[in-house]
Structure 1
Amino acid sequence: MADNTDNGNGDMDEWDALQAQIEGESTGQSGRADAPRGNPSPADLKATADAFLKKHKNDVLSDDEDDMPFPESEMDADEAGMNDAGAAKIQELEMQIATMKDQALRTMAEADNIRKRAERDVQKAKVYGVEKFATDVLSVYDNLSRALQTLDGQAKEELGDNARHLVEGIELTEKDLTSALLRHQIKPVAGLGSKFDPNVHQAVANIPHPEIEKGHVAAVMQQGFTIGDRTLRAAMVAVSTGPAG
């Protein structure tokens, strides 16, 4: 309490001194040396207050700074906590990004698989969609082939012009039909002399053959065909047992 009183008295004395100085300066400037003391003008009071505040401004700021603690340890702890929280958030975001990338890659792979399956299905539909029709057309091919097989070279030479032209027309028809079948991936099965294949050949007999080795096709009774990678119709064949005896 004594200290506060002393400080208060000191401030009052300082105030009075400043006021007297300012009044003296004001009196000297105005030439009124007989101006009454103790009745300062408003201008003098304002000047005294400004001077007092200016003098004590730095002291007040200095005292405030001294009274405000800034413990470095607490600041370091807060900063470390913020860094840990930021690192955890970054790690969480990186995990989310990695998860989204994985999901995107899986989605792209699935879409690519769907596209490939769709392309295969379209291709199969294009190839195998004519399977039943092609099977029916093969009977026409068989009839044309049998008609031509009844005539050998000598018999054709003995035919008249009209009959020969008819045979030539049948040959052209068979050729065009074979070309049409090939355009739709319908191909004839390997026949005479080829190795017997149960996937495309149907054995109806076993016969000896002087020139064709055992296990190979010695004769074709009905031509077989494949469509794409499927057997449209197996060829009816006789399989060689090798030379007789």
Structure 2
Amino acid sequence: MSDTTESPETVAETETIPTGDQQPHPADVIAALQAEIAGLKDQALRALAEAENTRRRAERDREDASKYAVSSFARDLLSVADNLRRALDAVPPSEDETVKALVTGVEATERELLAVFDRRGLTRIEPMGQTFDPNFHEAVFEVPNTGQPTGTVVQVLQVGYRIHDRLLRPAMVGVAKGDAGAQVNTSA
């Protein structure tokens, strides 16, 4: 009759305790349970840490998506900015009022486009006179004997752009190349 009045927990406890001559010592049972508790605590802490890492990663991905979502659109607009600058550079000085008005309008358009770039985190890379940096510049040619140190940007064919902290387009540049004697001295 006592079997019918036992709760399921009591039945489970009696099933886990071995019967017979070899009863586990209570200290051994306590040690085993403490080890199991420690293992479960460790698993719980690892699960919490993983959940926190996942949350942080998702937040960072969301911020990056928001920050860099306009990258491909901005890259397409760079040629528009380049062409506006080329148009302004190609116009000869003129006293004709029509030409002056046209130049003023193109300058205003370029200023507005650059202001939009600035608001969206796009910054120009204008490397003239700087040391060549392959992370931000693309060397298109070398210019020998310029009087500048080897590796200095001496001509900019196309300005580069960054969006926030990422490179959007490298600047296309010409780089100074020292004479053969200067190169031998610097490498020795």
Q: Mark yes or no: TM-score above 0.5.
A: yes
Q: Is 218-227 or 124-133 further displaced after alignment?
A: 124-133
Structure 1 ranges of 4+ moved more than 4 A: 208-211
- 2-side partners of 1:240 and 1:179: how far apart? 33
1:99 is matched with 39
Shift of 1:209: 6.3
Aligned CA-pair RMSD = 2.7
Contact 1:209/1:218, CA 8 A, preserved across alignment? no
Q: Secondary structure at the match of 2:162?
A: strand
Structure 1: gaps (5+ residues):
1-83
2:106 aligned residue:
170
Aligned-pair identity in percent equals 44
In structure 2, which of residues 56, 62, 67 is the aligned counterpart of residue 127 of structure 1?
A: 67
Aligned to 1:184: 120
Matched, 1:148 2:53: no
Aligned to 2:12: none
CA contact (8 A) 2:123 2:163 kept: yes
Q: Is the 8 A contact 2:161 2:171 kept in 1?
A: yes
In the alignment, the residues of structure 1 paired with residue 36 and residue 84 of structure 2 have an alpha-carbon distance, to the nearest angstrom, of 71
List aligned pairs for 1:1-245, cutoff 5 A.
85=26, 87-151=27-91, 155=93, 158-208=94-144, 210=146, 212-241=148-177
1:82-114 residue CA offsets vs partner (Å, 9 max, x unmatched): xx52x3443333223212221111011111211
In the TM superposition, residue 191 of structure 1 has moved relative to its aligned partner by 1.8
TM-score normalized by structure 1? 0.55
TM-superposition CA deviations, 1:121-163 (whole Å, max 9, x none): 22332233322211211111011111222357xx2xx434443
How many residue pairs were aligned? 156
The answer to which structure has the higher strand fraction is: 2
Q: Higher helix share goes to which structure?
A: 1
Gaps of 5+ in 2: 1-24, 180-188
Once the 2 structures are TM-superposed, how far is the Cα of residue 242 of structure 1 from its aligned partner? 5.1
